[in-house]
Every structure is written in C-alpha cells, then in structure tokens.
Structure 1
Amino acid sequence: MVLLYHFATFELPEASGRVFPFLWRFDGVGDVGVEIFFVISGFVISMSAEGARSLAGALRFMHLRAVRILPALWISSLIAFAALAFAGEEIGSLVPPLIRSSVLSPVGPYIDGVVWSLVVEAVFYLMVGITIVFAPRVSLESLAKILCAISTLYLVVWSVAFLLDKELFAALSRFPSKVFLLRYGVFFALGMLLWLRLRGSRSVTENGLLLLAGFMCLVEIFVGRVFLWGTGTAAALLWLTAVGLMVLCITHSDRFEVQLSDLQRKTVRYLGSLSYALYLNHYTFGGSIVQSLATILPPVSPASMSLLFCASIACVLLISCFVTSAERLVKKPLMLLREPQLRSS
C-alpha cells in the first residue's frame, strides 16, 4: 500500500506530471499503511513483552527488537546510499544521512524517506523497555493508557488548530510530534488495548479507552489528509477496514494455523520478512530504478507506463529478496543469546 502510494508520486526530471498516473487512487491514501503498521506493532509488541520483568527483561526485549529491525535497515541503507551515489549525489553529503539512518537518530534527514517511521517505532520500543524495568508497578496496560491520554490531548489541540490557525497546525505537525508519539501514540495504544481485550480484559474503563483510541486514530487520519490532500474520508475508511481485518485474522488465527502445512507456515514467515525489506527499499532505491529504467522504457504511452511499472516493481522485489536473505547473515553474530522469556515476533 505504501509502495503504491510512493510510486504514485514519482516524477521524472525531464517530464511533466507523474510517471504512473494510473496509480492516482493511492495518492494521499496509500500512506495510511504506516498508521496500520503502528496498530499492528502495538499489538505484537504487547504480546512479545508480556510477562517480562526487571532490567534484564528490558535488555532482552530491546535485544530482540534490535535483531529484528536493524540488520535489514543497515543493508537497505547501504543500498539506498549506493543508489543515490550512482544517480550523481555527492558521496560526502550522503554519509551523514546514512549514519543517522543506521542508528535511528531522532534527527533527520535520512538516507531513505521511510526511516522516520522506524525512528517512531524505536521510541515506542524504548517506552516499552522502560515499562518492563518498572514492572509490575508499571504495566503495559498503564503505558497504553498514558499513550492514549497524552496523544488524545495533543490531537484535540492539533485538530482545533486545523480549524482555527493553519500556521499553528503546521507547527504542531512537525517531526518532533511524531518522534515523541504525540501524533501516533493512539495507534500504538489501540494495538495494545486490542491485545488486552483479546486476552480477556474487558473492564468498562478499558472498553472506553479502546473506543476513544480508535476514534482519535480516525481523527488523526482524517484531519492530516484533509489538510494535505483532501482525502481524509477515504484514508480513514481504508484504515478502519484494514484494522477490522487484522482483528478478524487474530481472533481466528488458531483455526487458520491448524490448516497450514509446515511449508505454508514458512512461506508466511518469509513473506512477513520480505514485506519489511520491501518497505525499506521501495522508496529511494525504487525511485532510482524508475529513473534509470525510464531511459530504456520511456513512459510515453499507457503500455510503456505499465511495462516500466512492472519492471521497476520486479527490481524492487529482487533487491528485497536479496535483503531478506542477507539479513540472516548479519543477524547471526547479533543472536548471541536466546531469550526464553520473550517470544520473537
């Protein structure tokens, strides 16, 4: 979804207009995949961190998350670096963004435009790690409530600014609001609250928070896109449908899993890893590939546009398969310890 959104925005320096105009339906709504991902992350991380305690538990948790996201990020950042250098960018100017991307610095710019979402993820992991240190005095449920409350307060002010003061709205929309989970905290909170509910926690307070978090997620999606693209309703409906399907799949996961063979389970896990590599490599590398292939397949007709699109997607898929395989080699020295207390996700 995010891939199609970014491909819909690609332009060529020597041409006017978008390279793939037939993807116009994804322009302004496809990036809602990030908000879907944050909900999934809140759910999965709550499941993974359940039962963890003390500093040792927090370190094990952070270790697992680092092993999960960093190897593919490092490899993909080098690929983006090479793609930009090959396109004529000055190598010296690419080194600082490469370093910032590799360490998930909260200060950009990055070597690839999608890295910002991983920075937001890393901040969420850090908050979960701190919660584990102080468990059981501070629980994941408490963290979900705090995130929901603070993010809701921010989004209320943000929405009022959208109606009354566009300059203030623009200031509140800057990157720090994302990094500190002010804007996206409700998405992580919703995922965490969904996990609590599905494991049997159904108090009136938690049900109310679940509804509040879901409503504020829709507010964030709608307001942000109305201001930028005027497509808030479509994006909100798309997000709502995706989250509903996620809940449906989770509640029936046992039924689905028993019907899968070992090969099918391995395929599902591989596709999960491939989707992460695809996310990391579709933007900078994908944009470079589109520009390179456009010299051979100029998009001058619907047929040539379709051919260029398919060829570009194939290249992105191939490099993503390479990253998925190569990251296993990078992971090996990082997996010095096997943590029985936490389930890998």
Structure 2
Amino acid sequence: MSVVVDRPTQQLRTVPVHRHRPPLRPERPRLYAVDGIRLLAALMVAVHHYAGSWRVDRPGNAVWGRPVSEVMPTVFRFAAYGWIGVEIFFVISGFVICMSCWGRGPRQFFVSRVIRLYPAYWFAIVFTTAVVVALPGVWERLSARDILLNFTMLQSGSGVDSVDGVYWTLWSELRFYLLFLAVVATGLTYRKVVVFCCAWGAAAMLAPAAHFAPLTLAANPEGAWFFIAGLALYLMHRFGQDLLLWGILAMAWLMGQRQLGLRIDDFEHVSGWRGSVVAFTGFLLVMVAIALGATDRLRWKWLATAGSLTYPLYLLHYVAGTTLINRLQGTMDARLLVATVIAGFLALSWLVHRYVERPAARVLKRGLEGAFGRVRGA
C-alpha cells in the first residue's frame, strides 16, 4: 500500500495555506511494518482461539476434551491475551483505510472495499460449511437460509448467526466504512478527518448514555475508539504530529482501555485487564513509531506477502481449525499440533489469496466500474 502524497499547494499572500492544514510530509515508501503487524495480530487471534480462550478452557470442551490450561499451561498463559489482535486489526484498519482513500472518491472507495472483502469471505463460507458438514460434532451447521444470508455479510444486522463466529468483526468494519464514506464523498482533508474523529467519538460516548439504539448501532461504541486511533495515527504519518492529534490518540487510549475491560468481563474471562492494557499500549507505541517514520527503512518485501495472508487466515482458521484439532488431538504433542494447524492455514491462505482473491478482484473491479460507468452515462 504505497503512500500517495499531494503536492504542496502554492502559498497565497492573503490566506496562508498553513492556516488551513499542516504542511505535507515528503512521500514515503510502502509501510512494510504495518503488513508485519497485521500478520502478527492474526496469529495472536488464531493461537488464542486454539489454546487461550475460555471456550477451550472449560472442562469437557468439544475441542480438547479438557481445559487447555491443563494441556498447555505455559502456552495458555500467553494465548489468553491473543484476543487483543482484534483491537489491533481495528486500529490498523483505521490507519490503512484513511491512507488508501486519500485523493479518491466514494465510487473508488466502494469498489476497493467490495473487491477486498468479499472474494475471500465467500470462499471462507463455502470452505467452513464444508468442514462442518464433513466433520460434525464440534460445531453445529446453520440452516441453508442462514448460510445464504451470510453471503451478504449483513447477517449480524439481521439477527442471524454467522457461519464462523469471527465474522462479528466484519459488522464493525462495515459500520466504520459507512460512516467514513460520508467524509470520503466530500474529499479527505486534515480538518475533515479530525472533525470526523471528534464527532464519531462524541456519538460513541453519548448514544449509549442516552439509550438511543439507532445512534448506538451506527456509532459502534465497542470499536469506534480503536478505528479513531488508527485515523489519528495516519494523520500523524501524513502531516506530522501536533497536540491535537496526540489528544485524540490519548482519548482513544483512555476509552479503549475501558472497552478492553468490558470485553474481558463479558467474553474473555481468562485474561486480566492490566495485561491487556500493557499489550495494547505497547502496540500503540509501535504504531506511533511507524507513523512518525521510525520504520521507513524497513524494506522486507516478504512482509507484503505476509500481510496479504492476514484476511484469509482470519476468516478460515477458527471453526475449521478447532474442528481439525478435535480430530487430531492425541496424535502428537499439543503445541506441535497447534503450530501445524496454523502453518496449514497459512498455506491455504496463500492459495486463497493467489487463486481466489486476486482473480475475483479483477473480475469484480471490471464489472463494478462498468456498472458505475453506465450509471454516469444514464
């Protein structure tokens, strides 16, 4: 994802440009470090689901048959915090979406999101359903009509279960895209993105307090502050740091640590608040370093390939992977089994990226651009 930087506008005598927006920084190369962090976050989530969640730590669970903390006590202590990879995804998504949309219109934004999200997602639905049908006993298969609705990616908004539980994050992503589309339609600038961050943050705070369900649904208070952190970090990267951006990032951290605690209380019962905050804070500091140029010299091109595996790996690993572990546990050391399953899904993710995502993206892009051309002509 190369960074495209606008040329500085010629300064006028009457209204200096710097009063409207900070000066642009010189153009920078692709941020390979972000690709690496994306893959690391996906691996954290996978290890958590296999060896660190409360679901696999219950007696008689369907994956290991006994608490995973007894099977792999040392791995469990670290894997219990792997769920934070989801919040890392949200921050990176805010950063990358803002970067990729700069200088583009709503049509380009819409097309880019469709071709990026749907091909691997459709494959994952078919693949996961096939695994559940072929290897029953761990997960229940949804009804045909619910599986079909999953292809829209809107099942969470319709009160329908997902084929794979990890798809819940896509519902947060879609709401972020819908909100950010309004800013993209007007043309992204430093001021507009800052205003958007402040307005979205205010809505995420006020809507739940007012018990206003429609605004709460749109504002997505569970994920809003993580996306906002990513937006602020990208503005730092593009325009340089200032006190306002540091203030937005600090507010995102403060609100984010609260959301981490709520998630532990409601879902992730095996990890502690302090450890999760330390891990999340460390990640944010790494992202600050990336935004301010500390990793610009990193040129490991294999990280770009690694980053491309992240989305398919995330979509494919959970239901299918825990089903395989159920069938294979006892045949080898548990730690080796987890590593083998993850390696297998990394290989499958590369195949999906190479032979599903890329060809399907080209076809969808041509079709959608042709359709939008007809709309303009009409």
TM-score grouping bracket, smaller chain normalisation: 0.7 to 0.9
The alpha carbon displacement at 1:178 in A equals: 7.0
Corresponding position: 1:256 with 2:291: no
1:312 aligns with 2:378: no
The answer as to whether partners of 1:152 and 1:186 remain within 8 angstroms in 2 is: no
Q: Which residue of the other structure, out of 100, 103, 109, is the alignment partner of 1:51? A: 103
Q: How far does residue 94 in structure 1 lie from its aligned partner after superposition?
A: 4.2
Q: Distance in 2 between matches of 1:25 and 1:130?
A: 43
Q: Distance in 2 between matches of 1:98 and 1:253?
A: 45
Partner residue in 2 for 1:95: 144
Please show how residues 188-207 of structure 1 align to structure 2 within 5 Å.
188-200=227-239, 204-207=243-246
Aligned partner (choices 7, 10, 15) of residue 50 of structure 2? 7
Cα pair distance change 1:152/1:293, threshold 3 Å: same
Describe the shift of the 1:282–1:37 C-alpha distance in structure 2 as closer, same or farther (beyond 3 A).
same
What is the distance in 1 between the residues matched to 2:262 and 2:140?
39
Contact 1:224 1:232 in 2 (8 A): no
- Give me the TM-score of the superposition, normalised by structure 2: 0.72
- Hey, which bits of structure 1, 4+ residues long, moved more than 6 A? 89-92
1:283 maps to amino acid = Y
Aligned equivalent of 1:325, options 348, 354, 367 = 354
RMSD: 3.2
CA gap of 1:13–1:67, structure 2 versus 1, over 3 A, is closer
Is the contact between residue 183 and residue 196 of structure 2 (CA under 8 Å) also seen in structure 1?
yes
Q: Which runs of 5+ in 1 are unaligned?
A: 159-170, 340-345
| Corresponding letter in the other structure for 1:249 | I
1:183 lines up with 2:222 in the alignment: yes
CA shift digits 1:314-342 (9 cap, x unpaired):
33223222212222222220121899xxx
**Distance between the aligned counterparts of 1:17 and 1:256, measured in 2?**
44
Residue pair 1:73, 1:280 contacting (<8 A) in 2 also? yes
The reply to whether residue 41 of structure 1 matches residue 93 of structure 2 is yes
Is the Cα–Cα contact under 8 Å of residues 78 and 98 in structure 1 kept in the other structure?
Answer: no
User: 1:114 maps to which residue?
Assistant: 166
Partner of 2:5: none
Q: How does 1:60-79 map to 2 (within 5 A)?
A: 60-79=108-127
Higher share in helix:
1
Looking at structure 1, the residues matched to 312 and 236 of structure 2 have their Cα atoms a distance apart, in angstroms, of 31
Distance 2:328 2:141 in 1: 26
Q: Is the 8 A contact 1:94 1:111 kept in 2?
A: no
Identify the match of residue 277 of structure 1 among 279, 294, 312: 312
Percentage identity across paired residues of the two chains: 25
8 Å Cα contact 2:63-2:323 kept in structure 1: no
Paired residue total: 308
8 Å contact from structure 1 (residues 186, 217) kept in 2: yes
| Change over 3 Å in CA distance of 1:290–1:178 after alignment to 2 | farther
Scaled by the length of structure 1, what TM-score is found? 0.78
**Residue of structure 1 in register with 2:178 after alignment:** 126
Task: In structure 2, give the amino acid aligned to 1:331.
Answer: A
Question: Which residue number in structure 1 is paired with residue 321 of structure 2?
Answer: 286
Match 2:365 to one of 326, 335, 341 = 335
Mapped contact 1:120–1:179 kept (Cα < 8 A): no
| Distance in 1, Cα, partners of 2:46 & 2:141 | 28
